[in-house]
Amino acid sequence: MDRIERIQTGNRVMRKIYAVDLFCGAGGLTHGLERAGINVRLGVDIDPACEYPFTVNNAAKFLLKSVEDLKAEDLARVFRKNGIRLLAGCAPCQTFSTYNQKATPDDERWWLLLQFARLVKEISPELVTMENVLRLQDQGVFEEFLGALHDAKYHVHIKTVNCEEYGIPQHRQRLVLLASKLGPIRLLSPEEFGAERTTVRESIADLPPLRAGEVHETDPLHQASILSDLNMKRIKASKPGGTWRDWQNTLVADCHKKKTGKTYPSVYGRMCWDEPAPTITTQFFGFGNGRFGHPEQNRAISLREGAILQSFPRDYEFVPPGRPIYKKVVGRLIGNAVPPKLGEAIGRSIIIHVERWTKTRKKASTGVKANAR
């Protein structure tokens, strides 16, 4: 056997897959890839708050650096020699999100995807994956990204994913891209992945009850935001799956009494026990920021509950022990994350793809030797 890095898969030998996670955030994608069996070597992000959760929960190292300043040589020494290289990432999606009504083509975040494309061109990894919001497909910058992949002779697969179908207890639609120089590649179907739909009840019903403003004594992340007297009256008047339209008029905010306000019913609501949660945003810990009210307790969901609904493990750490927990910071880390379970589906899809490629090469090699005899 030569010196190529290999792992055993059944009765076949497969080259190891080494990954770098760009825009890694708190490590949702990396955690899923690692669970699938991919060796993530490095995560890169410009946000210092990402370093602790990324490194304490995952085996990969962390680099605090803007992807714009990242050079090919920074990554070349990270990938192991003769392994199969995977460049992964989720460029900041707020620019493309339907929640962002103020983004323009001048927003510099539009072009972070092209920095991703630049690194793909400079490094030429065997594999590329990206997760993002659906609206990205409608943007010219995405066409440029695809053009760069096609020019570099990648086989590209794009899929719209309903996260709940992959066992994530949340209504969340995402765009997943897989690209390979080894041959055609695709994301596993939910059935192939072995996913089962799950609900809010199955995910968080057994967590200790909390009052608004309370912090659980053994898990500081299980804490709920304070509610004003008015919002306490509002949540008591709310029902699972309902909206502020169910309230008496004295509780309705002035902005919702205007014509424009009536088009935004998806705020000030409770989750339903026996359905997936609504999309977890960066502001999920606030009752007025969406349908983030607990199904029966008079409070918004806690930071821990939001993380669980994003499919993070229950013991995933976001803040060093004893350090202050800032809800806006942790909420951003959780809401912006790639759900780890989706990352695992992506990782398993990549491993199966490489296994099949390995098997095909082995058959071709055996055939050549037989013909030679």
Return the structure tokens found at 146. 């695809």
Q: Which of 272, 248, 305, 336 is nearest to 54 (CA)?
A: 336
Does the CA dihedral 78-80-82-88 come out positive or negative? negative
Does the CA dihedral 353-356-358-361 come out positive or negative? negative
Return the structure tokens found at 352. 């199966």
Alpha helices in the chain (DSSP H): 28-36, 51-57, 72-76, 112-123, 140-151, 190-193, 200-204, 229-236, 254-257, 303-309, 327-335, 340-372
**Torsion of the alpha carbons at 100, 170, 242 and 215, rounded to the nearest 10:** -90
Distance CA 41, CA 80 (A): 9
State yes or no: is 93 an active-site residue.
Answer: yes
**Torsion of the alpha carbons at 69, 75, 76 and 80, rounded to the nearest 10:** 180
Return the structure tokens found at 32. 């899923």
Q: Which of 326, 331, 302 is nearest to 314 (CA)?
A: 302
Distance CA 87, CA 19 (A): 6
The count of other CB atoms within 10 Å of the CB of residue 76 is 12
The count of other CB atoms within 10 Å of the CB of residue 32 is 26
Which amino acid, residue 218?
T
Asked if residue 28 lies in contact with residue 312, where contact means CB atoms within 8 angstroms, the answer is yes
As beta bridge partners, residue 131 has 176
Of the listed 50, 93, 163, 272, which one is catalytic? 93
Point out the residues that are catalytic. Answer: 93
